[in-house]
């Protein structure tokens, strides 16, 4: 029985230095809290971007404004130059 207790005590003494201390647990808690906050902020930014993108995609496209109709211009050829009239002889 005494030998079993010594073996158990030796095993506990070997394991004890590897266990986490209060400082280790506090640092771990702070890291987990920091990662949680960063994840929540990232999710909000991601969902906001998704909301904006879907809002832009699903917005109905308005037809372009009607342009005022340009006037129709018809160019006529210039009249041929007139020949100088010769005086009439009587």
| Number of domains comprising the chain | 1
Q: What is the pLDDT of residues 42-69, one digit of tens each?
A: 999 999 999 999 999 888 888 888 888 8
Asked if the structure places residue 64 within a domain, the reply is no
90 — pLDDT class (breaks 50, 70, 90)? low
Asked if the structure places residue 9 within a domain, the reply is no
Asked if the structure places residue 62 within a domain, the reply is no
Q: What is the pLDDT of residues 17-42, one digit of tens each?
A: 888 889 989 999 999 999 999 999 99
Backbone angles phi, psi at 70, to 5 degrees: -75, 145
- What's the burial of 60, exposed, middle or buried (CB within 10 Å: 0-12/13-18/19+)? exposed
Asked if the structure places residue 15 within a domain, the reply is no
Asked if the structure places residue 50 within a domain, the reply is yes
- What's the domain range around 28? 20-56
Asked if the structure places residue 90 within a domain, the reply is no
């Amino acid at each position: 029985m005494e030998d079993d207790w010594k073996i158990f005590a030796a095993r506990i003494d070997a394991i004890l230095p590897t266990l986490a201390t209060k400082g280790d647990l506090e640092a771990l808690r702070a890291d987990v809290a920091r990662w949680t906050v960063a994840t929540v902020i990232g999710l909000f930014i991601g969902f906001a971007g998704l909301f904006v993108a879907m809002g832009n995609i699903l917005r109905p496209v308005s037809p372009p404004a009607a342009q005022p109709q340009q006037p129709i211009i018809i160019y006529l050829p210039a009249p041929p130059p007139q020949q100088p009239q010769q005086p009439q002889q009587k």
